[in-house]
Amino acid sequence: MDLAFEVFGETHKRPIIILHGFFASVRNWRACAEKLSKDYCVYALDARNHGASAHHCLMDYNVMTGDVMRFIDQQALAEANIVGHSMGGKTAMWLALNYPEYIDNLIVVDIAPISYTHSFAPLINSLKNLPLSSLTNRKQAELQLAESIPELSYRQFLLQNLLLVNGSYTWRINLDIFEHNGDNIIAFPNTDNTPPFYGNTLFISGEKSNYIPQNSTQALFPRAKYQIVANSEHWVHVQQPDAFIKAVTDFLPT
């Protein structure tokens, strides 16, 4: 699929492609992209079914990697630095494992190349049960989700996908598609016959996060370096943006 995207910086500079996480979009990365655009040309992509990109019933790492490869070909990029967070990090890893010749440097943010055991079903059900027709303001939605989604910042993040159109609230995302593909997002493709990626790789993790278990990355990314960002959880780039940018720029050549 053709993906919606935004460009930050001058196109003659070395490219960085940013891939966001599940339920997110380009808008969650604009602040970081602006800072990185001083030295790089930053392409921030909306994954299929997210942001301004089109919807499609299939969403797994094979097709999302194909979408990114299509973008790279369309932009005639010989190679690029890839930064991926969570779902976007898995897409970035699968891209590197299958198309290493297109990867200059790989940065994976708080995710590992493994299948996790949690489920998005309760979260998606909470969003689907929100009575959109009776909402008169966004604050009502936030309060009604408080019991099932206690963390205020996460509720506010999710509600960025709630749009007011002609006086009525609607979801920007298709929750049925998210529900159908939730298991694909927590999984990672089978790597039994996949050779490792020997390119330069950095895993950035939040100090208070447990998304990168010990010994979960070395077999597939043997040259990887690791950076733990203090006082941060899964949303490293949001919770500690300055430390995150420093980790990225210290790793990447200009």
232 tagged catalytic? no
Kindly give the confidence (pLDDT) of every residue in the chain, 254 residues in length, as a single tens digit, with 9 standing for 90 and above. Answer: 999 999 999 999 999 999 999 999 999 999 999 999 999 999 999 999 999 999 999 999 999 999 999 999 999 999 999 999 999 999 999 999 999 999 999 999 999 999 999 999 999 999 999 999 999 999 999 999 999 999 999 999 999 999 999 999 999 999 999 999 999 999 999 999 999 999 999 999 999 999 999 999 999 999 999 999 999 999 999 999 999 999 999 999 86
Indicate if 168 and 214 belong to the same structural domain: no
Task: Specify the CATH number for the domain of residue 34.
Answer: 3.40.50.1820
pLDDT reported for residue 170: 97
pLDDT reported for residue 37: 97
Residue pair 111/90 in contact (Cβ under 8 Å)? The answer is yes
pLDDT reported for residue 69: 98
Question: What is the maximal distance between C-alpha atoms in the chain?
Answer: 54
Indicate if 12 and 109 belong to the same structural domain: yes
Indicate if 95 and 213 belong to the same structural domain: yes
**Domain around 175:** 121-180
Indicate if 135 and 33 belong to the same structural domain: no
Indicate if 227 and 171 belong to the same structural domain: no
Indicate if 219 and 100 belong to the same structural domain: yes
**Among candidate residues 180, 195, 227, the one where a domain is terminated:** 180
pLDDT reported for residue 253: 83
Apex 115 CA angle, 109 and 118, nearest 5: 90
**Among candidate residues 137, 156, 180, the one where a domain is terminated:** 180
Catalytic hit among 25, 86, 205, 232: 86
pLDDT reported for residue 123: 97
Q: How far apart are CA 90 and CA 189, in angstroms?
A: 9
pTM of the model: 0.97
67 tagged catalytic? no
55 tagged catalytic? no
Indicate if 150 and 246 belong to the same structural domain: no
Indicate if 125 and 89 belong to the same structural domain: no
Residue type, 112: A
Indicate if 36 and 62 belong to the same structural domain: yes
Q: How far apart are CA 205 and CA 172, in angstroms?
A: 29
Place of tokens 């976007």: 88
Q: How far apart are CA 226 and CA 242, in angstroms?
A: 17
Q: How many domains does the chain have?
A: 2
Indicate if 112 and 27 belong to the same structural domain: yes
Indicate if 147 and 233 belong to the same structural domain: no
Catalytic hit among 20, 50, 85, 234: 234
Indicate if 195 and 112 belong to the same structural domain: yes
Angle at which helices 175-186 and 121-128 pack, to 10 degrees?
A: 170
Which helix or strand (DSSP H or E) is residue 101 part of?
none
